[in-house]
Structure 1
Amino acid sequence: MKLYYSAGACSLSPHIALEESGLPYEAVPAPTKTKRLPDGSDYRRINPLGYVPYLVLDDGTGLREGPAIVQYIADQAPDRKLAPANGTLARYQLQSWLNFIGTEIHKTFSPLFNPAMPEEAKQLNKDKLRERLQWVDGELAGKQYLMGDDFTVADGYLFTVTNWAQPMQIDLSGFKNLVAYRERVAARPAVQAAMKAEGLI
């Protein structure tokens, strides 16, 4: 498998999933700003949408969208328990988390990266993010991870998007469960390996 990623972007989530899975893969930088691959070619020739993550399977099939990619990775290494079995209620609960993180947190962060976005609009997004993170903080009470005691691909995704809080000047210190959770996730060897590979630590 080949993962196209941009350092620190949402593609860190499948990068973490791949490290957690133990599956063989190649990580290829595809910077979102330049769209230039290491060989100088245009990334859009591989993924016409030009964004990351993008996973190319061994047979050449491409898979896009982080929540789909991380579930695919989890299903290739079921012994790692990165996702509950398909068809179980727990799997739908995982998908619920992935959708919530994608639509309510990830996409609420997105406008903050746009320099053309008016400050008033950015503030509205920050306020919404604080509301959503307050709810997540409550959901993490008494839990190691989002789904309980087991780390899943949803945890890699939540960790990735909440990494953006500091550069976007969103203070997480009031969310004690979330802060402790982020420390637990950051300490995992696979998370450390993915972040080192992307030059984030």
Structure 2
Amino acid sequence: MKLFYMPGASSLTAHIALREAGLDFTIEKVDSRTKKTEHGEDYLAINPKGKVPALLLDDGTVLTEVVAIVQYLADQVPDRHLIPPAGTLSRYQAMEWLNYVASELHKGLSPLFDKQLPPDYRQQTEEQMEGKLLYLERELAGQDYLLGSRFSVADAYLFTMLTWADRLGFDLSYTPSVAQFYQRIKSRPTVAAALQAERAESQAVE
């Protein structure tokens, strides 16, 4: 498998999932401006959406959208318990979290990277995001992960969004359970390896 990514983008979630799954894969960087891969390929020919991540499977199929990709990866290695089994209530709770992160955090944080964002809209968006962090604080209080005591791909997605919040200057000291979660995930060897491989200090965002 090959993961197409941009450093610091939401593709980090899929990268972490691949490492947690222990699957064989390579990564290939995409230029956000030229839409060319690091090997000179036209990324739009691979993924017409032009966004990352995209996962090229061994049979040539291309899978896109981070929520779909991480569920696919987790299902390939059920013994790793990266997502609850299909059809269980716990699985739907994992999907609930994946969709919350996608619709409320990913969608909410993305505009804040735009330096031309009108000040009033920026302030309103930041206030809304602070409310969402307080919600996460209540949900994470007294537990290590979103689903309780076991790491899942939903945690990888939330971690990626918290790296964005960190880069945007949100003060996580007001949400200690969120801050502890952030450091807990960051300390996982797979996460450290993914961050190092992507040189996550890049400001690229998708």
Q: TM-score, normalised by structure 1?
A: 0.97
The residue aligned with 1:40 is 40
**Could you say which residue in structure 1 is the equivalent of 2:82?**
82
- Range with greater deviation from structure 2 (44-53 or 86-95): 44-53
Q: CA shift at 1:42, angstroms?
A: 2.2
Unmatched runs of 5 consecutive residues or more in structure 1 = none
Paired residues for 1:103-118 under 5 Å: 103-118=103-118
Identity of aligned residues (%): 47
Q: Distance in 1 between matches of 2:31 and 2:17?
A: 20
Superposed displacement of residue 119, structure 1: 1.6
Structure 1 segment 113-192 matched on structure 2, within 5 A: 113-192=113-192
Conserved 8 A contact 2:71-2:83:
yes
Most deviating of 4-13 and 107-116? 107-116
Paired with 1:56 and 1:112, the residues of 2 have a C-alpha distance of: 30
* Equivalent residue number for residue 15 of structure 2: 15
Q: Compare the two structures and name the one with the higher helix fraction.
A: 2
Q: Please, which moves more after superposition, 163-172 or 137-146? A: 163-172
- The count of corresponding residues between Structure 1 and Structure 2 is 201
| 26-35 or 185-194: bigger deviation | 26-35
In structure 2, C-alpha distance between the alignment counterparts of 1:42 and 1:120, rounded to whole Å:
38
Query: TM-score, normalized by length of structure 2?
Result: 0.95
What is the letter of the counterpart of residue 182 of structure 1?
Y
Q: Equivalents in 2 of 1:140, 1:52: separation in Å? A: 28
2:4 corresponds to 1:4: yes
Distance in 2 between residues matched to 1:86 and 1:142, nearest whole Å: 27
SS at match of 2:27: strand
Structure 2 residue ranges without an equivalent (≥5): 202-206
Cα deviation 1:87-114 (Å, max 9, x = unaligned):
0000000000000000011100011112
The aligned amino acid for 2:133 is L
